[in-house]
């Protein structure tokens, strides 16, 4: 997971969710702060089981009843989608526990680093020979297969980026060794995910990834096609979604509301 810059300092800026104020063997660490919530690294049940706690604090600017309902709905929706993915054999963090009224969700902690970090470390300051980097291309294919698997079981991610995929190193490897490209892709942050089997939705998901990839890793754009090639082979309907992607590229993520 991305190392928090000054986690001790950050951790004290926000009041902890009530559940984390109870005693634990190690203090929780604030990992990131998003628009909707915060992510802590903490422990589940026992000192040696690391977990991620996603907390959606109450939003004082919303009416309390509406706020409670939205939070509940979003926690449950994410948990249901994660559980479905896991049941259907897609690698996502598994759900440990949740309290939808208190606004938290405890998930399996995924070791490793976001794929973004691995790609950037691999690229270094190279400008040449990237299109011949077989290992990097293999990583692209793994991404394509993971996204294909997710789409094939009827899930649309809603925010596909190389930051929302972890590369979990093979067991026994040094954790946080972010230079290797070996390991398993674990898709994370399904907070914006939804169920969907429409080619249009799948194409938009791919388009978001393509655009995000292009701006995060401009020098690796030349090998992005590997993602799509692997995606194409990963499930039956993939070809249609890719055809749709061409349309989406022409018009952008949003459908035209004209006419």
- How many angstroms separate the CA atoms of 94 and 195, rounded? 18
Give the binding range for another protein (CB under 8 A) out of 2-10, 84-92, 116-124, 236-244.
84-92
- How many angstroms separate the CA atoms of 2 and 163, rounded? 9
| Binding of residue 23 to another protein (CB under 8 A) | yes
| Binding of residue 173 to another protein (CB under 8 A) | no
Closer residue to another protein (CB): 189 or 210: 189
Q: Please pick, from the candidates 82, 117, 228, 241, the single residue that binds another protein as defined by CB under 8 A.
A: 82
Residue 217 DSSP class = -
Residue 94 DSSP class = P
**Under 8 Å between Cβ of 101 and 129:** no
# binding residues, another protein (CB under 8 A): 32
| Binding of residue 101 to another protein (CB under 8 A) | yes
- How many angstroms separate the CA atoms of 97 and 92, rounded? 15
Closer residue to another protein (CB): 1 or 51: 51
Least distance from another protein to the Cβ atom of residue 13, Å = 21
| Binding of residue 80 to another protein (CB under 8 A) | yes
Least distance from another protein to the Cβ atom of residue 102, Å = 7
Catalytic site residue 159?
A: yes
Q: What x-and-dash track marks residues 121-150 binding another protein by CB under 8 A?
A: ------------------------------
Closer residue to another protein (CB): 149 or 202: 149
Closer residue to another protein (CB): 25 or 215: 25
CA-wise closest residue to 75 among 83, 85, 64, 86:
83
Least distance from another protein to the Cβ atom of residue 178, Å = 25
Which residue among the candidates 67, 99, 159, 173 is catalytic per the annotation? Answer: 159
**Under 8 Å between Cβ of 167 and 179:** no
List 107's β-bridge partners, or say none.
52, 95
Query: Phi, psi at residue 37, to the nearest 5°?
Result: -165, -175
Q: What x-and-dash track marks residues 27-66 binding another protein by CB under 8 A?
A: ---------------xxxxxx-x-----------------
Termini Cα distance of the chain: 46
- How many angstroms separate the CA atoms of 193 and 251, rounded? 22
- How many angstroms separate the CA atoms of 215 and 100, rounded? 35
Q: Please pick, from the candidates 10, 20, 145, 192, the single residue that binds another protein as defined by CB under 8 A.
A: 20
Burial of 97 (0-12, 13-18, 19+ CB in 10 A): middle
Per DSSP, the three-state class of 33 is strand
Active site residues: 159
Which residues form the interface with another protein (CB under 8 A)? 19-20, 22-25, 42-47, 49, 76, 79-80, 82-83, 86-89, 94-102, 108
């Amino acid at each position: 997971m991305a190392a928090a810059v000054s986690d001790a300092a950050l951790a004290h800026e926000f009041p902890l969710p009530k559940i984390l104020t109870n005693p634990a063997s190690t203090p929780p660490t604030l990992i990131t702060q998003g628009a909707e919530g915060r992510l802590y690294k903490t422990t589940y049940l026992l000192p040696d089981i690391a977990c991620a706690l996603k907390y959606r604090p109450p939003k004082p600017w919303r009416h309390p009843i509406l706020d409670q309902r939205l939070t509940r709905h979003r926690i449950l929706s994410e948990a249901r989608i994660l559980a479905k993915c896991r049941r259907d054999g897609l690698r996502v963090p598994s759900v440990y526990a949740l309290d939808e009224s208190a606004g938290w969700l405890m998930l399996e902690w995924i070791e490793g680093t976001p794929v973004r970090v691995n790609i950037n470390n691999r690229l270094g300051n190279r400008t040449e020979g990237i299109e011949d980097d077989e290992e990097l291309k293999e990583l692209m294919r793994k991404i394509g297969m993971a996204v294909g698997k997710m789409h094939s079981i009827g899930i649309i991610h809603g925010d596909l980026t190389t930051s929302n995929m972890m590369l979990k190193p093979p067991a026994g490897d040094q954790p946080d060794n972010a230079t290797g490209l070996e390991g398993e892709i674990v898709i994370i942050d399904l907070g914006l995910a939804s169920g969907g089997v429409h080619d249009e939705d799948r194409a938009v998901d791919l388009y978001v990834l393509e655009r995000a990839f292009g701006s995060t890793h401009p020098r690796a754009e030349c090998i992005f096609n590997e993602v799509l090639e692997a995606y194409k082979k990963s499930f039956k309907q993939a070809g249609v979604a890719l055809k749709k992607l061409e349309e989406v590229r022409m018009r952008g993520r949003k459908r035209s509301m004209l006419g």
